[in-house]
Amino acid sequence: MDTKRDSGNIKWLFEQDVYADGNPQKMMAVARAEGIPFAQVRYASVGDDDSELTPLDPVSFSDYERVIVYGSMNLCRWLRRRRKWPRLAWYDFDRLRCQSYYAHWGRFLLQRVYAFMPLAELHRRQDWVFSTFGRDGTIFVRPDDNDKSFSGGPVRQDGFADWWKLANFYEPGPDCLVVVSAPEVIRSEWRFVIGQRQVVTGTLYRQDGAEIVSPEYPTDAADFAASVANSTSFDPHCLYTMDVCGTGEGYRVVEIGSVCASSLYACDVEKVVRVASRIAAEDSTNA
């Protein structure tokens, strides 16, 4: 993908103290070298007023400027509630829900046999769920939403009560939609940044269940990600992340996410800044 085109009148907003990988600092250095204005803020989720957002640099952006955000999901939600920079909403979590992309990319998913149900029904029908989807007394559960109502993962039937308490800690509500499926064996996991249906960059982030970060990734894994992105007319955003895993049956899609609120691990962040700025400059009407 061409990363050298004019970024136009684009600005960046970075949130401090979210990622410990040094990527925000690297991205700010790229923006500085490219002559792209940026600012930093600190965000604390303590209520619902403007005092939550603490500028660390002068933030002179108007509400309708083309601003690209990189930070936490909480910051992105706060900005959406206030309709800040709505033309670059690359953090529209409704468009990133499982029910959105599962409908289009079902044949590529890691969870090929699954069911959606309200969280309360998972509790009420747990015997049926474990008998239908369980393998060795274990199922896989994740929230339908992309803003992490609770953490997805394997759930053992003999530990269901403890998991239930933890899943409800942040009070997602009984009608919170969840995805239930059989657990799968994953060998490796990569995160790819997809821009205009092309792979911009990628990173290994997990190997055999352990976090192992590397900028190296198989070309055919990237080709798989691109083929999924181009398989239908569905395009969740013009820039987003796609997690791909390697299994005994080939590559599968784990999930997608907002590039504005995702760890980039060992991705080439110079490419991310340049491509994101170019895309934003070319199309500021809808992200």
Output 283 or 201, whichever has higher pLDDT: 201
**Residue-level pLDDT at 6:** 47
Q: What is the CATH number of domain 185-257?
A: 3.30.470.20
The CATH number of 11-92, from 3.30.160, 1.10.287, 3.40.1130, 3.40.50, is 3.40.50
Average pLDDT, rounded, for the chain: 90
Residue 3 has pLDDT above 70, yes or no: no
The tens digit of pLDDT for each residue in 92-125 reads 888 899 999 999 999 999 998 999 999 999 999 9
Give 117-173 pLDDT, tens digit per residue: 999 999 999 999 999 999 999 999 999 998 778 889 999 999 999 999 999 998 999
Whether residue 85 has pLDDT greater than 90 = no
Residues 232-250 have pLDDT tens digits of 999 999 999 999 999 999 9
Spans of all domains in the chain: 11-92, 111-181, 185-257
Q: What's the confidence (pLDDT) of residue 80?
A: 83
Instruction: Calculate what percentage of the chain has a pLDDT beyond 70.
Output: 92
| CATH architecture observed for domain 111-181 | 2-Layer Sandwich (3.30)
Q: Which long-range contacts (CB under 8 A, 24 or more apart) does 215-223 make?
A: 215/266, 215/267, 215/268, 217/190, 217/192, 218/190, 218/246, 220/251, 221/190, 221/192, 221/246, 221/251, 222/190, 222/192
